[in-house]
Amino acid sequence: MPSIAPYASAMLLLAGGIQAHFTVQHPPAVGPFVDDDEPKKPCGGYHPDIENVTITDFHVDGDAIGTTLTHSQSTWLYRATLDPTAENGWILVYPIFDQSGSGLYCQPHVTVPHDFIGKKGYIGMVSHAKDGYLYQCAGVNFVAGTGPVPEDCRNATGVSATYADDGTLSSDPNNPGTPAPTPSPSSQHEHNGGVSTKGQTFMTLGGLLTVGAMVALGAVLVI
């Protein structure tokens, strides 16, 4: 049975009025949670070693990421790496999206490239909110197939999410916050809404959509 400790901690932070940034429910975050260290890369002030962190399975054809936000709005980046120190090699594994409303948001359909199967690495969550860029990581074993949806994978009352165009997050998954370069006229055809769509597709409930198409449609995320 999954531990309720992450939920208990998040609820205590909310109830007590402590200005936490965000906490992670799925997959379990590596290292101790230190609120003041969340702005520090790569994992909220924690520098992990893949051989010395708790590892959970993450299914490459779809698995859950769940976080609890204590602000009213955040833009999110989900990323993954096989770097044992989580310092480099990050790739985008889900379209950038905005969360509106504080509390739990869970997305159970995050996919990872098949060449990650059988390898250990990290899932990273980056929040861009009013308090800047914040980081957490989860140590995972990438496995084949689709993971079961956790019983507690749901959205808090009043929480919604829509795909977004945030070039400062998507331009370089290794260094979120780096401004996206201004495209030259010759490369304009590779961009849609400011987000490069070349070679990037993501699995959603409705099938495969490019990032640019989802942004242009103002697509609403569902679980």
User: CATH number of the domain that 166 lies in?
Assistant: 2.60.40.10
Give the CA angle between residues 81, 44, 62 to the nearest 5°. 40
Listed residue (101, 105, 86) closest to 223, CA to CA: 105
User: Is 89 a member of any domain?
Assistant: yes
User: Is 170 a member of any domain?
Assistant: yes
User: Is 215 a member of any domain?
Assistant: no
Phi, psi for 217 (deg, rounded to 5): -85, -10
User: Is 198 a member of any domain?
Assistant: no
Give the CA angle between residues 172, 202, 163 to the nearest 5°. 70
Of 59-68, 114-123, 197-206, which range is least confident?
197-206
User: Is 200 a member of any domain?
Assistant: no
Range of the domain at 114: 5-177
Of 16-25, 75-84, 85-94, 110-119, which range is least confident?
16-25
Give the residues across from 63 on adjacent strands.
110
Q: How many domains does the chain have?
A: 1
Whether 85 shows a pLDDT value over 90: the answer reads yes
Q: What rounded mean pLDDT belongs to the chain?
A: 80
User: Is 209 a member of any domain?
Assistant: no
pLDDT in tens, 130-141: 889 999 999 999
Q: Say which residue, 219 or 153, is predicted with more confidence.
A: 153
User: Is 133 a member of any domain?
Assistant: yes
User: Is 136 a member of any domain?
Assistant: yes
How far is residue 105's CA from residue 123's CA, in Å, rounded to a whole number? 16
Residue with tokens 């495209």: 183
Helices and strands (H and E) in the chain: how many: 3, 14
What per-residue confidence (pLDDT) applies to 166? 79
CA-based torsion, 191, 221, 59, 23: positive or negative: positive
pLDDT in tens, 157-196: 999 999 998 778 888 999 988 765 655 554 443 333 333 3
Give the residues across from 46 on adjacent strands.
43
Length reported for the chain = 223
